[in-house]
Structure formats: structure tokens, C-alpha cells
């Protein structure tokens, strides 16, 4: 299985190496690393499922494919089949990929597993803390969004569609999503890591407000 994971890692690296900086190969590497940290405290989890899902979770992120959420799972399935991943694990990984995304907090699913919790926690950890801050502004620049807007208030979204179609400033995204992630973490180790990153992010936000003159 080690050789198989190495081969799949190379495929993902080749696919995402030049991707948008917040969703590229390095993002995948960080998610895999965090997932392994959490796995160390969750020995009952299927390690191979977790690592496969962490590697493949952003192989074709829907936001870069016109919102098409079927491309990622289809590509991941093709990669796993070409490496003879057993059907039970393959299906589990696909279920994780379909359910890992935040989706504005409006994701509804009847699927759950410890392995999903681990991968989703690892992915959400990468959206907060120092890296999360960098990713937010990188993606905001990619989408040509304002850093902040004194007249704009954070939005309370009423649907997944309103979240996905929103074009607000990057700093408001901290209030609209990033500060909420800590309370969505499921695993014990994930909660510990999230708290450290969350507190750092709050400190950054306070300094941002001071330097810009925004009202908190």
C-alpha cells in the first residue's frame, strides 16, 4: 500500500503543483500532515482511507470547475481504480470527498465516519491560523476581491447558493466562515490544534482592525 500511496501522491502533485496557491499541492501536503497528527490519536481509524481521502480531496475542487461537484469524485475514482484500490475503501474515500467541503455550512448528508471527521478536520485546520490567513488573502486576490470595505458588513447567509455567489471583501470572510470553523471540529486532537490557530487568527484580526481603522 505504501508504494500505491506514493504513486497516487505523485499524480496529485503533478495535477495540483501549479494550482491556485490556497488549493495546490502544498495545501494537500498540509492536510495530509494534519490528518496524520490526528490519526496518531485515533488508532481505530482506517489509516489508508484517511490518507487516500486527504490526498484526493481537492483533486478537482468544484470552485475551479464552474461549481461542478462531480468532477472531483470521478477523477479520484479513476485514479483509485487504476491503482486497484479495493471497492470498500474506494467507496469510503469517495463519500469523504463528497462531504469534506464546508459549503457555507449548509451541507446536508446522511454519511458519517471517523475517517470523514479526521479529513474534514484536517482540511478545516488549513483554513485557520497563519496559513488560513494567507490562504484567505491569496484566494481573495485570485478573485480580485477587496481586502476590506468600511461600508460592508459581514453577511449571514440564508442558503448555500447565497454563500457560493457572495463577492464580499476578504476580511469579512473571516467573520462569515473562518471564525466559525473552530466549533465545527470533531476530533479531540483537531480541537486542540484548532484552538491554537483560532486564537492566533483573532489576534491578527484585532491588529487588522487597529491598522485599518475599521470598527469591530
**Mean pLDDT in order along the chain per 10 residues (216 residues):** 90 92 94 98 97 95 77 94 96 96 66 96 97 96 93 76 76 94 97 98 97 83
Measured between alpha carbons, how far is 177 from 154 in angstroms, rounded to an integer? 10
Closest CA to 11 of 54, 62, 59: 59
How much is the pLDDT for 155? 80
How much is the pLDDT for 70? 86
How much is the pLDDT for 187? 98
How much is the pLDDT for 20? 87
Residue 3 phi, psi (nearest 5): -60, -40
How much is the pLDDT for 152? 86
* DSSP letters spanning 40-84: TT-TTS-HHHHHHHHHHTTTT-GGGTTT-TTHHHHHHHHHHHHTT
Q: Given CATH 1.10.10.10, say whether it is the number of domain 2-212.
A: no
Domain ranges of the chain: 2-212
Cβ count near 156 (within 10 Å): 8
Q: Are 57 and 204 in contact (CB under 8 A)?
A: no
Amino acid at each position: 500500500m505504501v508504494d500505491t500511496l506514493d504513486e497516487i501522491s505523485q499524480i496529485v502533485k503533478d495535477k495540483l503543483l501549479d494550482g491556485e496557491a490556497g488549493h495546490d499541492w502544498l495545501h494537500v501536503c498540509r492536510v495530509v500532515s494534519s490528518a496524520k497528527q490526528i490519526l496518531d490519536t485515533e488508532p481505530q481509524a482506517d489509516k489508508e482511507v484517511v490518507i487516500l481521502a486527504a490526498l484526493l480531496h481537492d483533486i478537482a475542487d468544484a470552485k475551479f470547475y464552474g461549481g461542478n461537484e462531480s468532477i472531483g469524485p470521478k477523477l479520484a475514482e479513476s485514479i483509485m481504480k487504476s491503482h486497484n484500490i479495493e471497492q470498500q475503501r474506494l467507496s469510503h474515500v469517495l463519500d469523504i470527498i463528497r462531504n469534506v467541503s464546508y459549503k457555507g455550512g449548509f451541507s446536508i448528508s446522511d454519511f458519517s465516519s471517523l475517517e470523514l471527521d479526521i479529513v474534514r478536520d484536517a482540511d478545516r485546520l488549513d483554513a485557520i491560523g497563519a496559513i488560513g490567513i494567507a490562504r484567505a488573502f491569496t484566494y481573495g486576490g485570485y478573485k480580485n476581491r477587496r481586502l476590506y470595505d468600511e461600508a460592508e458588513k459581514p453577511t449571514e447567509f440564508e442558503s448555500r447558493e447565497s454563500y457560493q455567489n457572495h463577492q464580499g471583501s476578504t476580511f469579512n470572510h473571516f467573520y462569515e466562515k473562518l471564525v466559525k470553523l473552530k466549533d465545527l471540529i470533531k476530533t479531540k486532537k483537531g480541537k486542540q490544534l484548532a484552538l491554537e490557530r483560532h486564537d492566533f487568527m483573532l489576534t491578527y484580526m484585532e491588529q487588522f482592525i487597529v491598522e485599518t481603522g475599521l470598527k469591530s
